[in-house]
Amino acid sequence: MNKEYNAENIQVLEGLDAVRMRPGMYIGTTGIRGLHHILWEIVDNSIDEVANGYGDTIFITLHADGSVSVEDNGRGIPVDIHPTMGVSGVEVVFTQLHAGGKFNNDTYKTSGGLHGVGASVTNALSEWLKVEVFKNGTTYCMEFCSMEENGKVRGGVPKTHLFDTGIKSAHTGTKIRFKPDGRIFETTVFNLEMITKRVRELAFLNKGVRIVLSDERLNEDNGQFKREFLYEGGISDFVKYLNETKTPLFPEPIFIEGEENGIKLELSMQYTDSFTDNVFSYVNNIPTTEGGTHETGFKSGMTKALNDMARKNGVLKEKDANLTGDDFREGLTAVLSIKMQNVQFEGQTKTKLGNTEARTVTDHLVSTLLTEYFSKRGMGSVADAIFKKALLAAKVREAARKEKELTRAKNSIDNFNLVGKLSSCSGKKPENNELFIVEGDSAGGTCKQARNRSFQAILPLRGKPLNAEKKRIDQVLANEEIRTIISALGAGLGEDFDIDNLNYHKVIILSDADQDGAHIRAILLTFFFRYMKQLINNGNVYLGMPPLYKIAKKENVRYLYTDAELEVAKKEMGKNVTIQRYKGLGEMNSEQLWETTMDPKRRKLVRVTLEDAANAEKLISILMGDAVDQRREYIIEHADFNREDTFVDNI
């Protein structure tokens, strides 16, 4: 069938229409993460203003009508007429993509905004938006709305041009209030916990900035809430916060700061008695969860400085080999924050820094400043603690290396651990293949019968894996279940982990819906977070969702995943129904397991994502570490076993 393709077939999207047609290109998703993304675009603008010295306070308020407002005491968005656009600066900022002060280095020395799409995208995806600018002793106002035009809905349409309300103002700043459009987002309900975590993080990263978060929504679960965040210690307070559940090796974190070639660096670090390292990096207040050049520079600079110091003070003799970066990072908690212009992130998601100059500068600054720090203090308790920790880590590393080599020589670790355990799939393309890590031999056997052998592999766990939070790497590697998982995935471990070698692009944890099953999920996720974090960052880890109930009435059979679904089904199906509560995977036959849990067309999976690495670190330390009292307090405060997970994705 021939269909002509002429110039008239080319659709031109004007103004903000492109944003509404393809919102995922601008905010990643229309789910709960995308909803909060449009809030962060506005918050980041206020942070940029105060971080550059033009204010010190930000108010964020969740309103009862579903809207949210962000107000700062900065300079206020320009209200004068733009020389080429012919309208006010406010109208330009909220109606034009790639427009803003972030492109002019004289306006902002540093900013989190990269592409200049923040305010306009938020406007485009809102039911309505109102801007108030406090400037020149008065208050200016402009409102925008969504409206239907020629059969389609347009967003961010100006109701009026900017006007002077005549209301006097003794201060300067900007207030933006908007309501997300329910026609775009899967949910328009802001999550107070998510916002609280990010606001706390921003307050840590911007020493002396006061952020006031209020929630005016009133319902059964949420009364009025107001909390202020202000940290005069900045990222050093952040490190203390992260280490609250651990035992620090010295009381006060190390703090260094410096600037070189337009890049400003702050670094705070402290060692604990734990066995893994936690480095959290930021660029212009944006978390770079996948690291980047600045994080690479930090690691190399720190390793160089500490090795040089160890040799200078006789900790390492001439015949001794240098300690590795892994040795020096065992037990380390560090927060690295840099501010720079012309940031090159990898994609709009801004999770990895790509600027090559950041690596050179960070390496040199960290090496120089750490050397100066210890030169002033000498070989005191802090240095002693660091070197003692690193030397012990080196011994353990060497022992683990020898054990690994011996095991390889005996029977090839990549195959030996899998004999009689892994039922692999026939597919040769990792991007299409799935690995089900299944609780118990019995359920594993059923899964093997139920699976599609062409792309689904089954790995039964015959015992509980080790809790990686409490053990050294050599102890982790000695655990048979952990070794089996490492071998099956084929991508290595820790710093040697290479996701390009991953044998399965979907790693699905499948366990019973009981306490033991939840514990196994927690143990496996802790292991992945500590030693294969890229697996989570890349979105390769999932939780299988077996049904909780089977309800039947004659030929009408339904599988249900929550108590709420059960109540709805009981009302719809009426009397004389039979209800079966599944306590474990072993209660289903292979056909039922395929239909409910393994068939890609009908199953439900939860994708495990890392929205906030610093908070995840704190949470894992509480739940999986040795802080018994804090774990008890957390469970008492947060446990709600009847609540559905709002982050469930249907895959």
- What's residue 227's pLDDT? 93
Long-range contacts of 76-79 (CB under 8 A, 24+ apart): 76/133, 76/134, 76/135, 76/172, 76/173, 76/174, 77/131, 77/133, 77/174, 79/133, 79/135, 79/136, 79/140, 79/162
Checking if the pLDDT of 466 tops 50, the result is yes
Last residue of a domain, one of 196, 229, 262: 229
Q: Please indicate, yes or no, whether residues 215 and 248 belong to a single structural domain of this protein.
A: no
Q: pLDDT of 196-205, one tens digit each? A: 999 999 999 9
Is 205 part of a structural domain of the chain? yes
Checking if the pLDDT of 11 tops 50, the result is no
Checking if the pLDDT of 7 tops 50, the result is no
- What's residue 437's pLDDT? 94
User: Within 13 Å of residue 520, how many CA atoms lie on the same side as its CB?
Assistant: 24
Q: Please indicate, yes or no, whether residues 42 and 106 belong to a single structural domain of this protein.
A: yes
Active site residues: 439, 512, 514, 516
CATH code: domain of residue 476: 3.40.50.670
User: What percent of the chain shows pLDDT beyond 90?
Assistant: 53
The DSSP annotation for 451-468 comes to S-TTTEEEEEESSPPP-G
pTM for this prediction: 0.77
Beta strand ranges found along 294-414 (DSSP E): 332-339
Is 43 part of a structural domain of the chain? yes
Q: What percent of the residues of the chain are helix, what percent strand, and what percent coil, each to the nearest 5?
A: 40, 20, 40
Checking if the pLDDT of 387 tops 70, the result is yes
Q: In a 3-state reduction of DSSP, which class is residue 133?
A: strand
Checking if the pLDDT of 13 tops 80, the result is no
Strand order across the beta sheet in which 286-287 lies: 254-260, 263-271, 332-339, 278-283, 286-287
Q: Please indicate, yes or no, whether residues 40 and 185 belong to a single structural domain of this protein.
A: yes
User: Domain residues for 562?
Assistant: 549-581
Last residue of a domain, one of 229, 256, 280: 229
**β pairing state of 578-581 and 549-553:** antiparallel
Q: Please indicate, yes or no, whether residues 451 and 575 belong to a single structural domain of this protein.
A: no
Q: pLDDT of 396-430, one tens digit each? A: 888 777 766 655 544 444 444 454 588 999 999 99
Q: pLDDT confidence of 117, banded at 50, 70, 90?
A: low
- What's residue 617's pLDDT? 81
Is 8 part of a structural domain of the chain? no
Average pLDDT over residues 46-70: 92
Q: Please indicate, yes or no, whether residues 488 and 566 belong to a single structural domain of this protein.
A: no
Angle subtended at Cα 579 by Cα 577 and Cα 582, rounded to the nearest 5 degrees = 165
Q: Please indicate, yes or no, whether residues 467 and 577 belong to a single structural domain of this protein.
A: no
Is 1 part of a structural domain of the chain? no
- What's residue 642's pLDDT? 46
Average pLDDT over residues 383-393: 93
Q: Give the burial string for 461-481 (b: 16+ CB within 10 Å, else e).
A: beeebbbbbebbbbebbebeb
Q: Please report how the helices 628-638 and 613-624 are oriented relative to each other, as an axis angle in degrees rounded to 10.
A: 110
- What's residue 197's pLDDT? 92
Checking if the pLDDT of 311 tops 90, the result is yes
Q: Please indicate, yes or no, whether residues 96 and 245 belong to a single structural domain of this protein.
A: no
Q: pLDDT confidence of 111, banded at 50, 70, 90?
A: low
CB neighbourhood size of 614 (10 A): 21
Q: Which residue type is seen at 498?
A: D
Q: pLDDT of 577-593, one tens digit each? A: 999 988 788 888 899 99
Q: Please report how the helices 235-242 and 192-205 are oriented relative to each other, as an axis angle in degrees rounded to 10.
A: 130
Length of the chain counted residue by residue: 651
Average pLDDT over residues 86-110: 69
Checking if the pLDDT of 14 tops 70, the result is no
Checking if the pLDDT of 3 tops 60, the result is no
- What's residue 620's pLDDT? 82
Average pLDDT over residues 473-479: 82
Is 256 part of a structural domain of the chain? yes
- What's residue 188's pLDDT? 95
Last residue of a domain, one of 356, 382, 401: 401
Return the minimum-mean-pLDDT range out of 176-185, 368-377, 472-481, 507-516: 472-481
Q: pLDDT confidence of 647, banded at 50, 70, 90?
A: very low
Contacts of 315 (CB under 8 A, 6+ apart): 309, 387, 391
Q: Please indicate, yes or no, whether residues 391 and 453 belong to a single structural domain of this protein.
A: no
- What's residue 649's pLDDT? 36
Q: Please indicate, yes or no, whether residues 543 and 555 belong to a single structural domain of this protein.
A: no
- What's residue 639's pLDDT? 62
Residue 181 DSSP label: -
Q: Please indicate, yes or no, whether residues 356 and 286 belong to a single structural domain of this protein.
A: yes
Q: Please indicate, yes or no, whether residues 45 and 126 belong to a single structural domain of this protein.
A: yes
Is 645 part of a structural domain of the chain? no
The DSSP annotation for 476-509 comes to HHH-HHHHHHHHHH-S-SGGG--GGG-S-SEEEE
Q: pLDDT confidence of 555, banded at 50, 70, 90?
A: confident
Q: pLDDT of 228-268, one tens digit each? A: 999 999 999 999 999 998 999 999 999 999 999 999 999 99
Is 455 part of a structural domain of the chain? yes
Return the minimum-mean-pLDDT range out of 193-202, 291-300, 348-357, 554-563: 348-357
* Contact (CB, 8 A) for 176 and 262: no
CATH code: domain of residue 188: 3.30.565.10
Q: What is the C-alpha separation between 246 and 621, in angstroms, rounded? A: 7
Q: Please indicate, yes or no, whether residues 220 and 119 belong to a single structural domain of this protein.
A: yes
Q: pLDDT confidence of 16, banded at 50, 70, 90?
A: confident
Q: In a 3-state reduction of DSSP, which class is residue 273?
A: coil
Q: pLDDT confidence of 651, banded at 50, 70, 90?
A: very low
- What's residue 23's pLDDT? 78
Count of the separate structural domains present in the chain: 4
Q: pLDDT of 132-181, one tens digit each? A: 999 999 999 999 998 887 778 888 889 989 999 999 999 999 999 999 99
Compare 104 and 626 and report the one with higher pLDDT. Answer: 626
- What's residue 405's pLDDT? 62
Checking if the pLDDT of 122 tops 60, the result is yes
Average pLDDT over residues 528-555: 91
Is 463 part of a structural domain of the chain? yes
